[in-house]
């Protein structure tokens, strides 16, 4: 009998020790053929527990959850419709790990609410660039994050997507939890609008990561006491047309003469082509990009970024789309 008890406790300890965590599902350093990062447990049925960090996604029961301590690789999206959960619920989820067009999720899951009112892990402070380049952004997929001191660089489109930039690279903000025009008062996004912070859960769709604010409280405007005076920008950057095929004209303006570098990058942060690397006088400059790399080989269609950097330490980045 004693041996049976010892064996029972040993087996129980082994099961507890090797219980699957969200981190086990998400963590990987192996990129797939599309440049994104599928779960090492893709296709396996798992059971995990965690804390709900975002509820009522897509105005229904899907939600985001996190390991209790939070952190990179510790968040995931749960696709289910049967159980209503709330922020701070501790839940046990059983489902199949799947890659829905690149978004790692627990699909068609069964959910049990274990307790409510638990502390929600603090959002992680990230730069907007951290949510663009896949090698950096994948660790935040499914997680609760926050960007600070950002400016709107693209207004909301017909899909509810808009873009902000903290000076590193623009990233997408989406309306997965609520529509901006459905709240009182409605929130209208305009280019040049500033936000002290934007908090939300990170999803992935159509080759882009996005922050999804959970409520209007996740959108924090600068306080009245903040200095909202915008200094003259030392660098400006744009391109037209965008989207484009087969070429686009990039226009940049320098307030002062300086050594500058204008570089094209791919969606994963790889350098595609250096268009300018020399000293330029102040004023407006124009250069054309014909969609080729350093070897003058045509690149594939998709999202690209162009970044202008000055020797004085200023930089500005923009996004463009090559169609074919």
Q: How many domains does the chain have?
A: 3
Structural domain includes residue 229: no
20 with 97, same domain?
yes
Length of the chain: 324
CA distance 219 to 221: 7
pTM of the model: 0.73
190 with 88, same domain?
no
Write out the DSSP string of 119-167. Answer: PPPPPEE--SGGGTSHHHHGGGTTSEEEEEEEEEEE---TTS-EEEESS
Q: Containing domain of residue 247, as a range?
A: 235-322
46-48-54-55 Cα dihedral, nearest 10 degrees: 70
Final residue in a domain of this structure, among 90, 115, 140: 115
143 with 183, same domain?
yes
CATH of the domain at 11: 2.40.50.140
Structural domain includes residue 60: yes
Structural domain includes residue 267: yes
Structural domain includes residue 226: no
Structural domain includes residue 97: yes
pLDDT computed for residue 171 by the predictor:
94
Whether omega for the bond prior to residue 243 falls within 30 degrees of 0, making it cis, is yes
CB atoms within 10 A of CB 113: 14
User: Each residue's pLDDT tens digit in the chain (324 positions)?
Assistant: 555 444 444 444 444 445 899 999 999 999 888 778 999 999 999 999 999 999 999 989 999 999 999 999 999 999 999 999 999 999 999 999 999 999 999 998 999 999 999 999 999 999 998 999 888 899 999 999 999 999 999 999 999 999 999 888 899 999 999 999 998 889 999 988 999 999 999 999 989 999 999 999 999 998 744 544 444 567 788 888 888 999 999 989 898 999 999 999 988 788 999 999 999 998 889 999 999 999 999 999 988 999 999 998 888 888 888 987
Final residue in a domain of this structure, among 220, 248, 265: 220
130 with 207, same domain?
yes
pLDDT computed for residue 255 by the predictor:
87
Final residue in a domain of this structure, among 171, 195, 220: 220
The DSSP H or E segment spanning 16 is helix 2-17
CATH of the domain at 302: 2.60.40.4070
Structural domain includes residue 41: yes
181 with 259, same domain?
no
3-state secondary structure of 13: helix
pLDDT computed for residue 233 by the predictor:
60
């Amino acid at each position: 009998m004693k041996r049976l008890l010892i064996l029972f406790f040993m087996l129980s300890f082994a099961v507890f020790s090797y219980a699957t965590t969200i981190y086990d599902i998400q963590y990987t350093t192996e990129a797939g053929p599309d440049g994104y990062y599928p779960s090492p447990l893709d296709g396996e049925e798992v059971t995990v527990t965690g804390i709900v960090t975002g509820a009522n996604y897509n105005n229904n029961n899907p939600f985001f959850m996190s390991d209790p301590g939070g952190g990179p690789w510790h968040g995931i999206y749960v696709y289910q419709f049967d159980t209503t959960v709330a922020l701070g619920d501790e839940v046990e989820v059983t489902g199949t790990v799947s890659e829905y067009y690149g978004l790692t999720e627990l699909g068609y899951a069964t959910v049990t609410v274990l307790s409510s009112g638990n502390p929600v892990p603090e959002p992680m402070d990230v730069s907007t660039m951290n949510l663009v380049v896949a090698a950096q952004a994948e660790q935040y997929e499914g997680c609760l994050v926050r960007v600070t001191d950002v400016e709107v660089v693209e207004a909301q489109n017909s899909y509810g997507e808009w873009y902000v930039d903290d000076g590193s690279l623009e990233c997408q903000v989406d309306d997965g939890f609520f529509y901006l025009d459905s709240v009182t008062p409605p929130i209208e996004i305009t280019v040049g609008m500033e936000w002290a912070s934007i908090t939300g859960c990170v999803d992935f769709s159509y080759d882009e990561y996005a922050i999804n604010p959970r409520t209007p409280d996740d959108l924090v405007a600068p306080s009245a006491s903040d200095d909202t005076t915008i200094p003259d920008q030392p660098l400006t950057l744009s391109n037209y047309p965008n989207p484009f095929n087969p070429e686009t004209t990039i226009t940049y303006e320098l307030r002062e003469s300086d050594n500058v570098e204008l570089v094209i990058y791919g969606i994963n942060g790889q350098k595609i082509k250096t268009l300018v690397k020399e000293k330029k006088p102040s004023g407006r400059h124009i250069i054309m990009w014909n969609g080729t790399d350093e070897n003058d080989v045509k690149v594939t269609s998709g999202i690209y970024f162009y970044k202008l950097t000055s020797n004085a330490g200023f930089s500005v980045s923009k996004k463009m789309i090559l169609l074919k």
